[in-house]
Amino acid sequence: MSEIRPWRTIVRRQSRQIMVGSVPVGGDAPITVQTMTNTPTEDAVATIDQIRRCEDAGADLIRVSCPDVASTAALGKIVKASRIPIIADIHFHYKRALEAADAGAACLRINPGNIGSADRVAEVVRAAKANGCAIRIGVNGGSLERHLLEKYGEPCPEALVESALDHIKLLQDHDFHEYKVAVKASDVFLAVSAYMGLAEAVDCPLHLGITEAGGLIGGTVKSAIGIGNLLWAGIGDTLRVSLSAEPEEEVRVGFEILKSLGLRTRGVRVVSCPSCARQGFDVIRTVEALEARLQHIKTPISLSVLGCVVNGPGEARETDIGLTGGGNGKHMVYLSGVTDHTVQSEEMLDHIVALVEAKAAEMEAAADAAAAAKVGEPAE
Ligand code: SF4
């Protein structure tokens, strides 16, 4: 329902596009959402199960830790089963990077400056090139190189950017350009300043994140402020929300951040009131139930759930489906912004779920028909 108005527009920084498997990152590609598995990687079955849940939540990319040979040995099976590209997370052990590249990882998360000799860097780059792997450099405020800490005295934006540029140079020296970079910190000011500095200095895609952000609520707020500020400034091509929560929650929060800024659409966007004594039904419980029951919807649909007529009609006018609380257990349903019919409290949940599912099916059919018509059009 909502149109893009000039004051809603975000002008994205023009980054160079790379491919992570089949997924473009950077340039005009959609900003991708990624997360990371937390199952033991050698347990391929458990890891694939978790990847499925993340795929269903909408993850575009997924990172898998590869700390040992058992992990990279399981990676081939995981890569084959996954519907989204796998990023192998490597720290220090360059041989794990070689194994992961051979196992079909679409990207290696590795800092070339941390793996030892120039020969090892050359070997990793050779393996990445041979297997069509991208590389993600991940600078972290908590593990900055000693010489940078000595130079700057403490983790600061300049130190993070310098570390990133040093790692980048090692890849460029080997004529490798399929990389993206993160300069994460758990401090929002530090991370945002570092990303802003890096965005000025390089043209590669940037992977956003506020690292070790915290639990579901605290970490979501912190990430929304940090990542949200950067996205608002046009910076960022892919993101991970780092939460002490299940990976699929990270994906949901990532999409909510992007949806809030109009940068991605996915599933039901719920507009709901905090509720008060005027509510005609239990808004909080209703929204909880609707969010749970509508998670399977992927088509972008807006739904307003307001407890009474104070703000209900106004919000309903801006959404695909609207519900506004009325008196005597009878509530108004709006379709495409217009009052349509009423529903009783006891039928309300099932009714709204059915309306959203029907609207999603209608929109999907229209999209399919438009795509089919386009295929049938004569070539210009
Ligand atoms: S929409 Fe109505 S019920 Fe909801 S918070 Fe506002 S006044 Fe209260």
For residue 187, the domain's CATH number is 3.20.20.20
Pocket of ligand 1 (CB under 6 A): 273-276, 278-279, 306-308, 310-312
Tell me which amino acid residue 104 is: G
**What CATH number did the domain enclosing 371 receive?**
3.30.413.10
Residues 254 and 275 in one domain: no
Integer-rounded Cα Rg, in Å, for the chain is 23
Ligand 1 atom nearest 312 alpha carbon: 1
Q: Is 315 annotated as a binding residue?
A: yes
Same domain assignment for residues 230 and 359: no
Ligand 1 atom closest to Cα of residue 276: 8
Note the pLDDT tens digit of each residue in 187-236.
999 999 999 999 999 999 999 999 999 999 999 999 999 999 999 999 99
Rounded percentage of the chain residues whose pLDDT exceeds 70: 98
Q: Are residues 122 and 212 in the same domain?
A: yes
- Domain identity same for 178 and 251: yes
Domain extent at residue 311: 268-375
Instruction: Determine what percent of the chain is predicted with pLDDT higher than 90.
Output: 90
Q: What pLDDT was estimated at residue 293? A: 96
Asked if residue 63 lies in contact with residue 37, where contact means CB atoms within 8 angstroms, the answer is: yes
Q: Is 308 annotated as a binding residue?
A: yes
Query: In this structure, is residue 132 part of a structural domain?
Result: yes
Same structural domain, 34 and 107? yes
Region 290-298: mean pLDDT is 94
* 101 within a domain of the structure (yes/no): yes
Residue ending a domain, among 260, 279, 296, is 260
As a whole number, mean pLDDT of residues 122-148 equals 95
Residue 380 in any domain: the answer is no
Q: Are 342 and 300 within one domain?
A: yes
Rounded to two decimals, what is the model's pTM? 0.92
Q: Which ligand 1 atom is the nearest neighbour of the CA of 273?
A: 4
**347 Cα: distance to centroid of ligand 1 (angstroms):** 21
What's the 351 CA to ligand 1 centre distance in angstroms?
21
Closest residue by Cα to atom 2, ligand 1, is 308
Distances (CA, A) of 147 to 113, 166, 190, 195: 12, 12, 19, 21
Domain boundary pick from 260, 290, 311? 260
Whether 240 and 306 share a structural domain: no
- 224 in the same domain as 273: no
Q: Is residue 352 domain-shared with residue 286, that is, in the same domain?
A: yes
Quote the pLDDT of residue 200.
Answer: 97
Average model confidence (pLDDT) for the chain? 95
Residue 86 pairs in a beta bridge with 62
Burial pattern 104-125, b for ≥16 Cβ within 10 A else e, equals bbbbbbbbbbbbeeeebbebbb
Sorting pLDDT into bands at 50, 70 and 90, what band is 92?
Answer: confident
Residue 133 among known ligand-binding residues = no
pLDDT at 3 > cutoff 80? no
Mean pLDDT of 42-46: 98
132 and 97 in a common domain: yes
Residues 140 and 26 in one domain: yes
